[in-house]
């Protein structure tokens, strides 16, 4: 399963690779990282058919997570990738907007990885 993680914080990358070390080692999950919405769109243009899940931060300089979500939903209809939004601000407004724009899930920082792993299992099934 290929997962694209979009976050302007570089340190998110080692966190994910370490957290999912076993899964990566076993070849269950492949992580790709993008530091901005623009970078994510560029990557998807090339590899959109491979990416099953997109995890995106909302507060990013340039294209925000919500804009990215809108772009993804308008550009890629088939097969629609699963998009989960992540934000430090678990406020209602962001949640509402994300859901309206077609996000599959809404996660708050700090990420509960145990919970995330559970969700990934569901997607695989």
Partner 1 sequence: MSFGLEPLIAIFLASQLRKTLKSEGISSPWSQYLLYAFYAAVAVICLGFSGFGHSLFITLLGHLLIFALAALTFTRDEFKTNRPLVTSVIPYVIITFFSDIIEKVFVNFYNDYNEFFESAQWFAILWFGAMWFINRRQGKALEIERKKRRDEEEQNRMMAAMKVNLEGEVKQRTAELTKQKEELQQALTELKSTQAQLVQQEKMASLGELTAGIAHEIQNPLNFVNNFSEVSIELLDELKDGPFKNLPEDSLQEANEIMHDITQNLAKINQHGKRADAIVKGMLQHSRATTSKKEPTDINALADEYLRLSYHGLRAKDKSFNAAMKTSFDENIGQVDAMTQDLGRVLLNLYNNSFYSVAEKKKLIGDGYEPTINVSTKLIKPAQGGSIVEITVADNGLGIPQQALDKIYQPFFTTKPTGLGTGLGLSMSYDIITKAHNGELKVETKEGEYARFTITIPAVSN
- Which residues of this chain interact with partner 1, rule CB under 8 A? 9, 11, 15, 18-19, 21-22, 88-89, 91-92, 109-111, 113
Q: Helices 65-75 and 92-100 meet at what angle, rounded to 10?
A: 10
- Nearest CA-CA partner of 102 in 73, 60, 67, 124: 73
Question: Are 45 and 73 in contact, with CB atoms under 8 Å apart?
Answer: no
Decide whether 51 or 86 has the Cβ nearer to partner 1.
86
Shortest reach from residue 88's CB to partner 1, in Å:
5
Find the shortest distance in angstroms from Cβ 44 to partner 1: 25
Least Cα distance to 37 among 72, 3, 76 occurs for 72
Q: How near is the Cβ of 22 to partner 1 at its closest, in Å?
A: 8
Nearer to partner 1 by Cβ, of 70 and 119: the residue is 119
Query: Which residue, 30 or 111, is less far from partner 1 as judged by CB?
Result: 111
Task: Give strand ranges (E) for 27-72.
Answer: 30-34, 51-57
- Smallest separation, CB 11 to partner 1 (Å): 5
Going by C-alpha positions, the residue among 12, 76, 64 that lies closest to residue 37 is: 64
Choice between 2 and 109, CB closer to partner 1: 109
């Amino acid at each position: 399963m290929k997962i694209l993680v979009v976050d302007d914080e570089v340190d998110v990358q080692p966190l994910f690779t370490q957290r999912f070390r076993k899964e990566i080692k076993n070849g269950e999950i492949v992580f790709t990282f993008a530091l901005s919405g623009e970078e994510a769109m560029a990557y998807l243009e090339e590899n959109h058919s491979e990416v099953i899940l997109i995890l995106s931060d909302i507060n990013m300089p340039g294209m925000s997570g919500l804009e990215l979500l809108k772009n993804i939903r308008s550009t890629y209809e088939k097969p629609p990738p699963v998009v989960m939004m992540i934000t430090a601000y678990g406020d209602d407004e962001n949640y509402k907007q994300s859901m309206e724009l077609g996000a599959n899930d809404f996660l708050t920082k700090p990420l509960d990885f145990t919970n995330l792993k559970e969700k990934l299992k569901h997607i695989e099934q």
